Amino acid sequence: MAHDYRILIDGKLVKPVRGGTMEIINPADNTVVAVVPKCSEEDVELAVAAARRAQPGWKGTYIGARSELLIRLAAILREHQDELVPLETMQYGGPISKTSRFDIPFAPAELEYMAGLGRSMTGHTISADPDARVMTVREPIGVVGLITPWNFPLVTAVSKLAPALICGNTVLLKPPSCAPLTVLKLGEYAVEAGFPPGVVNILAGPGSTVGEAIVRHPGVDKINFTGDSFVGKRILELASQKVMPVGAELGGKNPMIVLDDANLDGAVEGAAYAAFFNSGQNCGSPSRFYVEAGIYDRFVEKFVAAAGRITVGNPMDPDTMMGPLAYNACRDNAERHIARAKEQGARILLGGERPNTPQTKDGAFVMPTIFEVYDNSIDLMQEEIFAPVVGVMKVGSADEAVERANDSRYGLCASIWTNDYRKGMLLVDRLKVGTAWINQHLAIVSETPWGGQKESGWTKENSILVLDEYTYQKHVWIHLSETPNTFWKEQIALD
């Protein structure tokens, strides 16, 4: 029997006011795998009202009690891992080898990390006046709207939900309309864990209606969004009308720089994994490769060979390394970029077509695709494609590589591959990105901050820095002398 998915409003698992539904499509074969609620503005109104009622009490709850609820939710997620893994795989096509080892295990670990981290929050004392005690105290922002993407549905939702809750905010969480299943299950588990009514509210529906209603609502105090830069700009535009803060983790067009003295095999292994992991549907994936001339030919030969060994197929098969793109429009967009790259003079070295097997013929698949590029200004090297399509370019020096790497409106992350760590660190200083690795790419864990600059957004996920995203620091001045210090002390002194 199909699962009866519900939204979560005010502590109750309910159907939308209008009773709307959406079909969830498995991109591996374009079959319907679930029918879920489709919310409207009326549901947003109810959820915001519930969150505002609950926020003062949640703010006033001892942080140890908030921490305990996060730990309880983590335990429930672990109990249901076997149920969540296939749901995560079916709804967006991430291979089960990935969802079972990364996506689902990462979510409870993130809850546990934030449960402990939040209990270490502190303010500051300031030596401003000997007659006063001056301090800052952290306070929750209030009601926070969380809008999350489809490429890591549960992971990204939890990485926003956990810090928002531990800091004392109440939440409206909107998962992606094409991949909401595991987040809707999270709502069921939140009820089981015992979160007070209104603290966690989960609404499913299109961004154009539900997402915009959350952003526009005067009762929402902050938005945190992960997604593409186009939608991020729209959210920033709407939020500016309320002068509302927005945490925006947006797109990337990430460079990988391989210098002549790099460990060749290590660089190739890192390139093949990072570029095609999750079918290239990762804002941190490298899609621009700048390789010094002395190592270029050998790197390209080995990179093409390694990418050619990637197993593309049914994401439910444990041996599959790369599944489909998340839906047909993603595949179609990738194919348009492949055709455009050919028109603009890039030479295809691998892939560029759909796989033609019984497992893949009905799905949104694109083979790992590598182009040799001669012009850094072409669309392939400037536009985020969000697919397993990359360009490799020969450069004459490390300086040229950094210059081309910075020639982008994005600034999320980059990597440098070299055995000269002094040179690597000097080059890192020149990269205009939020995260830079040396001899690594896509190392992201709870303890490390994640976020970029330029059109990649200006926020931080994970690490202790995320607490700044969900709190503000209130300045408190306690005057200790019997009278205040004023310029008019003598003129207006009382008898």
Indicate if 230 and 283 belong to the same structural domain: no
The DSSP-derived string for 180-204 is -HHHHHHHHHHHHHTPPTTTEEE--
Indicate if 466 and 418 belong to the same structural domain: no
Indicate if 235 and 276 belong to the same structural domain: no
**CB within 8 Å of 83: residues ≥ 6 apart:** 185
Reduce the DSSP state of residue 109 to 3 states and report it.
helix
User: Distance between CA atoms of 454 and 13, rounded to whole angstroms?
Assistant: 40
Strand order of the sheet with strand 471-479? 124-126, 132-140, 471-479
Reduce the DSSP state of residue 418 to 3 states and report it.
coil
Give a yes or no: residue 425 inside a domain. yes
Indicate if 404 and 366 belong to the same structural domain: yes
Strand order of the sheet with strand 12-14? 12-14, 7-9, 200-202, 170-174, 143-147, 222-226, 246-249
User: Distance between CA atoms of 317 and 388, rounded to whole angstroms?
Assistant: 19
Query: Which CATH number does the domain housing residue 140 bear?
Result: 3.40.605.10
The rounded Cα 146 to chain-centroid distance in angstroms is 11
Give a yes or no: residue 325 inside a domain. yes
Indicate if 244 and 389 belong to the same structural domain: no
Q: What torsion, rounded to 10 degrees, do the Cα atoms 328, 334, 336, 338 define?
A: -150
pTM above 0.75, yes or no: yes
The DSSP-derived string for 261-285 is TS-HHHHHHHHHHHHHGGGG--TT-
User: Distance between CA atoms of 338 and 64, rounded to whole angstroms?
Assistant: 52
For residue 482, the model assigns a pLDDT of 84
Indicate if 49 and 174 belong to the same structural domain: yes
Give a yes or no: residue 481 inside a domain. no
Q: Amino acid identity of 404? A: R
User: Distance between CA atoms of 370 and 346, rounded to whole angstroms?
Assistant: 10
Query: Which CATH number does the domain housing residue 403 bear?
Result: 3.40.309.10
User: Distance between CA atoms of 331 and 55, rounded to whole angstroms?
Assistant: 42
Per-residue pLDDT of the chain (495 residues; tens, 9 = 90+): 589 999 999 999 999 999 999 999 999 999 999 999 999 999 999 999 999 999 999 999 999 999 999 999 999 999 999 999 999 999 999 999 999 999 999 999 999 999 999 998 888 999 998 899 999 999 999 999 999 999 999 999 999 999 999 999 999 999 999 999 999 999 999 999 999 999 999 999 999 999 999 999 999 999 999 999 999 999 999 999 999 999 999 999 999 999 999 999 999 999 999 999 999 999 999 999 999 999 999 999 999 999 999 999 999 999 999 999 999 999 999 999 999 999 999 999 999 999 989 999 999 999 999 999 999 999 999 999 999 999 999 999 999 999 999 999 999 999 999 999 999 999 999 999 999 999 999 999 999 999 999 999 989 999 999 999 999 999 999 999 888 888 777 776 655
For residue 494, the model assigns a pLDDT of 59
Give a yes or no: residue 492 inside a domain. no
The rounded Cα 223 to chain-centroid distance in angstroms is 14
Contact 248, 225 (CB under 8 A): yes
Give a yes or no: residue 152 inside a domain. yes
Bridge partners of residue 436, in order along the sequence: 414
Indicate if 314 and 396 belong to the same structural domain: yes
Cα–Cα nearest to 222, from 205, 199, 238, 233: 238
Indicate if 182 and 270 belong to the same structural domain: no
Instruction: Kindly state the greatest CA–CA separation across the chain.
Output: 96
- In 378-487, DSSP assigns E strands to 389-395, 410-411, 413-417, 435-438, 453-454, 471-479
Q: What torsion, rounded to 10 degrees, do the Cα atoms 228, 233, 236, 241 define?
A: -150
Indicate if 91 and 156 belong to the same structural domain: yes
User: Distance between CA atoms of 286 and 300, rounded to whole angstroms?
Assistant: 15
Catalytic residues: 160, 249, 283, 461
User: Distance between CA atoms of 127 and 338, rounded to whole angstroms?
Assistant: 60
Indicate if 245 and 285 belong to the same structural domain: no
20-26 and 31-38 as β-strands: parallel, antiparallel, unpaired?
antiparallel
For residue 35, the model assigns a pLDDT of 97
Give a yes or no: residue 486 inside a domain. no
Do you know the residue count of the chain?
Answer: 495
DSSP class of 258: E
User: Distance between CA atoms of 204 and 435, rounded to whole angstroms?
Assistant: 32
Give a yes or no: residue 443 inside a domain. no
Give a yes or no: residue 317 inside a domain. yes
Burial of 484 (0-12, 13-18, 19+ CB in 10 A): exposed
For residue 452, the model assigns a pLDDT of 96
Contact 280, 389 (CB under 8 A): yes
Indicate if 186 and 244 belong to the same structural domain: yes
* Overall domain count for the chain: 2
Residue 408: how many other CB atoms lie within 10 Å: 24
**CB within 8 Å of 210: residues ≥ 6 apart:** 39, 40, 41, 43, 44, 174, 203, 204
**Domain range for residue 238?**
7-250+457-476
User: What's the count of helices (H) and strands (E) in the chain, helices before strands?
Assistant: 15, 21
DSSP class of 135: E
Indicate if 116 and 214 belong to the same structural domain: yes
